[in-house]
C-alpha cells in the first residue's frame, strides 16, 4: 500500500517556478530524498526505490547537489559495505 502525503501550495509558487502540480510534486520528492540521504536518514538504495529510478541515477543527482557518498569515516565504510 502506498502512502500519500498532501501539502498545500499557493498558486504563486507554481507560477513562479513555471511548473504544474505534478512537476512540483516530483521536485519536492527529489529534494526530500536527497535531503534525507544527505542527513543519513535513508540509504541511496531506499531513495532510488522511492523515486523509482536506478541507484546510480540517484547518486549522480545527489552528488550534483552537494551530497556526499562517504564521509571517510569507519562507520560510513562499514554501513556501505555491510551488504556486500
**Per-residue pLDDT reduced to its tens digit, 19-71:** 999 999 999 999 999 999 988 899 889 999 999 999 999 999 998 887 776 56
- Within-domain flag for 71: yes
Residue 58 lies in a domain: yes
Number of domains in the chain: 1
In a domain, 46, yes or no: yes
52 touches 27 (CB < 8 A) = no
Residues in contact with 13: Cβ distance below 8 Å, sequence separation at least 6, in sequence order? 24
For residue 76, being part of any structural domain is answered with yes
- The pLDDT score that the predictor gives to residue 54 is 95
Show the domain range for 71.
11-81
Quick check: 7 and 1 in contact, CB under 8 A? no
Grid cell for residue 73: 569515516
Q: Is 2 a domain residue?
A: no
6 located within any domain: no
82's CB contacts (< 8 A; 6+ apart) are none
Q: What is the rounded distance in angstroms from the CA atom of residue 78 to the CA atom of residue 76?
A: 5
For residue 45, being part of any structural domain is answered with yes
Amino acid at each position: 500500500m502506498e502512502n500519500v502525503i498532501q501539502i498545500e501550495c499557493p498558486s504563486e509558487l507554481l507560477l513562479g517556478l513555471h511548473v504544474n502540480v505534478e512537476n512540483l510534486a516530483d521536485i519536492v520528492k527529489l529534494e526530500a530524498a536527497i535531503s534525507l540521504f544527505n542527513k543519513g536518514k535513508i540509504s541511496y538504495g531506499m531513495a532510488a526505490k522511492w523515486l523509482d529510478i536506478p541507484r546510480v541515477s540517484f547518486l549522480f543527482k545527489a552528488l550534483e547537489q552537494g551530497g556526499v557518498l562517504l564521509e571517510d569515516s569507519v562507520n560510513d565504510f562499514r554501513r556501505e559495505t555491510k551488504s556486500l
